Amino acid sequence: MSAAPSIFLHRGDLPDGLSFPQGVAVDTETMGLRVTRDRLCVVQLSGGDNTAHVVQILPGVDAPVLRSLMADPDVLKIMHFGRFDIATLQYWLGVLCAPVYCTKIASKLCRTSTDSHGLKSLCKDLLGIDLSKQQQTSDWGAAELSADQLAYAASDVLYLHALKAKLDALLAREHRTDLAWSCFQFLPTRALLDLSGWDEPDLFSH
């Protein structure tokens, strides 16, 4: 039986001195799904070491340590549906994340036998882990986050490193690694296009 993860809550910003030599898994929780309307409430991170750091974003605090990490060109940011998280972090914290790796894009490129590319499906199919999505629509703007909310937020990043390893092997097997990285490199630009109004209709549609 694996050990329970360690979850640390930080109010306003990450503490100094954290290191993520294997890249950092990143996810966000907002008040809704419209980036320019629904404020950023939580950013959760993991180094792939069964530890999660949950940062509660506070009004008037610009989170300089977190912002520096997101912009660090030497630290890979591993995300699931990075298009949304990159746009959210750019709009609310003014930082463009790069370099990035998106497990959703990787899955779509190498798991073409299925249409199930959500995080819950990936964890079940590739890692044998059942994720609970019960807190997905809870009130992330609450002044105090519950233990269930913290556990949910942590679960969204704790397994991204392991998923990346599985997906990397599948991408290599299908000879799509270079194609995947080309997509990842474009993601920050895709997010900026979304924020500039080219999300609907999609700039790349007919």
pTM of the model: 0.95
Kindly report the CA angle at 148 between 147 and 152, in degrees rounded to 5?
120
Please name which of 72, 70, 73, 75 lies closest in space to residue 85, comparing C-alpha atoms. Answer: 70
Q: What is the mean pLDDT of the chain?
A: 95
96 touches 71 (CB < 8 A): yes
Q: Would you give the distance in Å from CA 154 to the centre of its chain?
A: 11
DSSP character at residue 112: T
Q: What is the pLDDT of residues 58-95, one digit of tens each?
A: 988 999 999 999 999 999 999 999 999 999 999 999 99
The tens digit of pLDDT for each residue in 20-34 reads: 999 999 999 999 999
CA–CA dist 70, 77 (Å, integer): 7
Fold of 6-195: Nucleotidyltransferase; domain 5 (3.30.420)
Element (H, E) at 9: strand 6-11
